[in-house]
Amino acid sequence: MCGIIGIVGRAPVQARLIDSLKRLEYRGYDSAGVAGLVGGRIERRRAAGKIRALEDVLAASPLEATVGVGHTRWATHGAPSERNAHPHRAGRVTLVHNGIIENFAELKAALAAEGRVFESDTDTEVIAHLFDSELATGLAPLAAFKATLDRLTGAYALAALIEGEDGLILGARRGSPLVVGYGDGEMFLGSDALAVGPFTNRICYLEEGDYVAIRAGEAQIFDAGQRLANRPVRLVSAAAALVEKGEYRHFMEKEIHEQPDACQHTLSAYIDPVSGLATAPNGLDLAAFDRIQIVACGTASYAGAIARYQFERLAGLPCDVETASEFRYREPALSSKTLAIAVSQSGETADTLAALRWCKAADLTTAALVNVHESTMAREADVLLPTHAGPEIGVASTKAFTSQLAALTALAVAAAAARGRIDAAEAARLSGLLREVPRLIAQSTRVEAEMRALAPELAKARDVLYLGRGEMFPLALEGALKLKEISYIHAEGYAAGELKHGPIALIDAATPVIVIAPSGPLFEKTMSNMSEVAARGGPIILITDAAGAALAPAGAKVIIGPTCDPLLAPLVYAPPIQLLAYYVAVQKGADVDQPRNLAKSVTVE
Ligand code: G6P
């Protein structure tokens, strides 16, 4: 997913475009560019790589514009290079784009047949040519823009400048979000609230199919049917608007330490302040369903996979969890009383959104468990199940994950009570446990120094295995994902009992095995699997509690986390595995917050 900023300013915009792009860099960072209207002409500067490279270009050749657009890219069509970096231009038009144009090959062929020459491999340049060709027919800018939009199939958020139209930026949204920011005699466009956060806290979210003309002090918004639309302007909190690393070296480190607060804020939406009992927010009646279907991608899908154990064990509610990209392309057989829950930090992930829409079309009740409450999923689902993690900038998800877990665990308790599976006393006991989560998570981050100490050795590994049983199995998958995405070490998570059915062949002295096993009903079984590893010379790192540590096999390195009820163990044992991945990545000198090839949210299939 790319980042977009547009500013119709009263003063030069270069520094502000760059400031905004830096805040958006988490969305994509393989190349960046800016363009602005200077004396009736459009000038452009672009660079491959991070925003730093663009700053070097601008230092040598500043952009003296008061109206401009900027973009940070995550490549879809065309390799990351300056030539493919946005803004793209054709004739009078220069524009930036987030999304994918599905009919770009066909449009490109038609435009090429008219003699238009393309300088990049991107789908975006096709939009610029199309728009320029509509303008060339004599249409006014807004009409030409709308005619262009009508010919596009796929997803887009756009911000466009037109030569000869000083003081104007056109924007449009379909499939990818776009916000309008209202400043003091100035106007902004951004791909999210963070983009315009440093300049204004008054923003308005465009609806699907909307397009907009912004000029100094005004925004004219039109809906897909070309009618003037009145979209509400909201005040966003300063915290959401301005995100800084503070005392931390990386956003990921900061976000790991924000987890007690993130979970506390999230749980406050799921615990009734008067009764103190876990409860589903926004009127969701959990007794009305006979099944839960969770759809999600990446880390969010592991939160769902953990919740499955809890919904089934506590509430006796059958629960399926499926990777959204698979779910959307098969024909799942679901009962009409299925509650479909899309779990997503961003609320914009293309596959999760498509799966949610599939469920809606199948007449299921849909819920969006999302961190961005104005996101497309939040708006399209029947029920919003919020997480309150605050903006998550590190590409590797941490506090969003534990917030999802906190919300889902509370929902499982609420479902157990609503379905009569537990009595009032047990509901009160389990709800009481939930209130301990922030304290226990704070306690579990205290293993930080030990994780840092393990990093130099682990950083030498080529392969690492993660093992867990029960809810610790999806947590093992998440641990492996964290390590591979930020340190580039090959890592796999396995169900501990599955080890002997294949993965054990991988065990040797150079393959560390990380076992996540706080004491509990399954601990002894996992111990046996650890012995199988130890017998084959595999180095073991056991992450457990004090009781588990007492039973650890000789030679294992033992990390002791807090003692907690098994219900909370996935939440409490998430920070240690995040810290381990973090310090290994730091040890390797990897780009922790912006790992290669990844993007924070993937709004393409
Ligand atoms: C990307 C991110 C992951 C994230 C996944 C789902 O792959 O790199 O960290 O878990 O998308 O994102 P979502 O916003 O739907 O939770």
CATH of the domain at 13: 3.60.20.10
Q: What is the CA(602)–ligand 1 centre distance, in A?
A: 7
Task: Give the residue, 395 or 124, on which the prediction is more confident.
Answer: 124
Task: Give the residue, 591 or 89, on which the prediction is more confident.
Answer: 89
Q: Distance (Å, rounded) from C-alpha 508 to C-alpha 511?
A: 5
The verdict on 155 and 257 lying in the same domain is no
Q: Which of 316, 373, 328 is nearest to 348 (CA)?
A: 373
The pick from 481, 601, 604 for probing ligand 1's pocket by mutation, whose C-beta has the most ligand atoms within 8 angstroms, reads: 601
Q: What is the CA(601)–ligand 1 centre distance, in A?
A: 5
The verdict on 412 and 268 lying in the same domain is yes
Is residue 415 within 8 Å of residue 387, measured between CB atoms?
A: no
Total domains, the chain: 3
- Mean pLDDT (the chain) is 93
- Token pair 């073991």 is found at 540
Looking at the predicted structure, is the pLDDT value of residue 332 above 80?
yes
Per-residue pLDDT tens digits for 421-448: 999 999 999 999 999 999 999 999 999 9
Nearest CA to ligand 1 atom 2: 600
Q: Distance (Å, rounded) from C-alpha 455 to C-alpha 98?
A: 37
Is residue 164 within 8 Å of residue 40, measured between CB atoms?
A: yes
Nearest CA to ligand 1 atom 3: 298
Q: What is the CA(155)–ligand 1 centre distance, in A?
A: 18
Q: Is residue 336 part of a domain?
A: yes
Work out whether strand 179-182 and strand 88-90 pair parallel, antiparallel, or are unpaired. unpaired
**Type and span of the H or E element at 558:** strand 557-560
The verdict on 265 and 136 lying in the same domain is no
The verdict on 260 and 371 lying in the same domain is yes
Q: What is the CA(191)–ligand 1 centre distance, in A?
A: 17
Per-residue pLDDT tens digits for 52-79: 999 999 999 999 999 999 999 988 778 8
For 461-477, b/e burial (b = at least 16 CB within 10 A) is beebbbbbbbbbbbbbb
Residues with CB under 6 A from ligand 1: 297-300, 344-346, 349, 352, 395-397, 598, 600-602
Answer with the one of 190, 216, 242 that is the final residue of a domain: 242
Residue 346 Cα: closest atom of ligand 1 = 14
pLDDT of residue 238: 54
Written as six digits, the tokens of 458 are 């682990």
Q: Distance (Å, rounded) from C-alpha 167 to C-alpha 331?
A: 50
Looking at the predicted structure, is the pLDDT value of residue 23 above 80?
yes
The verdict on 318 and 411 lying in the same domain is yes
Q: Distance (Å, rounded) from C-alpha 211 to C-alpha 174?
A: 9
Please state, in angstroms and as integers, the Cα–Cα distance from residue 81 to each residue in 54, 69, 70, 74, following that order: 12, 19, 16, 11
Q: Is residue 331 part of a domain?
A: yes
Q: Distance (Å, rounded) from C-alpha 358 to C-alpha 329?
A: 10
Q: Distance (Å, rounded) from C-alpha 20 to C-alpha 86?
A: 15
Q: Is residue 559 part of a domain?
A: yes
Looking at the predicted structure, is the pLDDT value of residue 288 above 50?
yes
pLDDT of residue 241: 47
The pick from 345, 374, 403 for probing ligand 1's pocket by mutation, whose C-beta has the most ligand atoms within 8 angstroms, reads: 345
Q: Is residue 160 part of a domain?
A: yes
With cut-offs at 50, 70 and 90, classify the pLDDT of residue 603: low
Q: 5 forms bridges with which residues in the sheet?
A: 70, 190
The verdict on 121 and 182 lying in the same domain is yes
Q: Distance (Å, rounded) from C-alpha 577 to C-alpha 474?
A: 12
pLDDT of residue 474: 98
Q: Is residue 604 part of a domain?
A: no
What backbone phi and psi angles, to 5 degrees, belong to 225? -90, 15
Domain that holds residue 353: 245-435
Work out whether strand 540-544 and strand 557-560 pair parallel, antiparallel, or are unpaired. parallel
**HSE, side-chain direction, 13 A CA sphere, residue 287:** 7
Can you state the angle between helices 424-434 and 399-418, rounded to 10 degrees?
170
Q: Residue 400's CB: how many other CB atoms inside 10 A?
A: 28
The verdict on 249 and 234 lying in the same domain is no
Q: 101 forms bridges with which residues in the sheet?
A: 154
The verdict on 268 and 234 lying in the same domain is no
Residues 19-25 have a mean pLDDT of: 89
Q: Can you give the CATH number for the domain in which 565 is found?
A: 3.40.50.10490
Nearest CA to ligand 1 atom 15: 344
Q: Which of 139, 120, 136, 153 is nearest to 44 (CA)?
A: 120
Q: Is residue 605 part of a domain?
A: no
Residue 298 Cα: closest atom of ligand 1 = 10
Which residues touch 247 (CB under 8 Å, ≥6 apart)? none
Answer with the one of 222, 242, 262 that is the final residue of a domain: 242
- DSSP letters spanning 263-303: HHHHHHTTB-TTT--B--STT--GGG-SEEEEEE-HHHHHH
Maximal C-alpha separation, the chain: 81
Q: Which of 437, 127, 171, 393 is nearest to 278 (CA)?
A: 437
Residue 349 Cα: closest atom of ligand 1 = 15
Per-residue pLDDT tens digits for 541-585: 999 999 999 989 888 999 999 999 999 999 999 999 999 999 999
Residue 299 Cα: closest atom of ligand 1 = 10
Per-residue pLDDT tens digits for 348-368: 999 999 999 999 999 999 999
Q: Distance (Å, rounded) from C-alpha 250 to C-alpha 393?
A: 10
Q: Is residue 601 part of a domain?
A: no
**C-alpha dihedral, 69 to 74 to 80 to 83, nearest 10°:** -20
The verdict on 309 and 389 lying in the same domain is yes
The verdict on 323 and 417 lying in the same domain is yes
Q: Which of 36, 23, 25, 127 is nearest to 72 (CA)?
A: 25
Q: Which of 305, 365, 315, 374 is nearest to 340 (CA)?
A: 365
Residue 598 Cα: closest atom of ligand 1 = 8
Q: What is the CA(347)–ligand 1 centre distance, in A?
A: 9
Q: What is the CA(258)–ligand 1 centre distance, in A?
A: 19
Q: Distance (Å, rounded) from C-alpha 194 to C-alpha 393?
A: 10
Looking at the predicted structure, is the pLDDT value of residue 538 above 90?
no
**C-alpha dihedral, 491 to 347 to 257 to 393, nearest 10°:** 80
The verdict on 228 and 284 lying in the same domain is no
Q: 89 forms bridges with which residues in the sheet?
A: 94
The pick from 385, 578, 600 for probing ligand 1's pocket by mutation, whose C-beta has the most ligand atoms within 8 angstroms, reads: 600
Nearest CA to ligand 1 atom 8: 600
Looking at the predicted structure, is the pLDDT value of residue 318 above 70?
yes
The verdict on 388 and 491 lying in the same domain is no
Q: Is residue 596 part of a domain?
A: no
Q: Distance (Å, rounded) from C-alpha 506 to C-alpha 114?
A: 58
Answer with the one of 242, 271, 291 that is the final residue of a domain: 242
Q: Distance (Å, rounded) from C-alpha 524 to C-alpha 333?
A: 37
Per-residue pLDDT tens digits for 228-260: 999 999 887 654 545 777 778 999 999 999 999
How many percent of the chain have pLDDT more than 90? 77
* pTM score: 0.80
Q: How many residues does the chain have?
A: 605
Residues 104-113 have a mean pLDDT of: 95
Q: Distance (Å, rounded) from C-alpha 282 to C-alpha 445?
A: 32
- Catalytic (active-site) positions: 2, 600
Q: What is the CA(297)–ligand 1 centre distance, in A?
A: 6
Q: What angle do CA 467, 473, 479 make, to 5 degrees?
A: 65
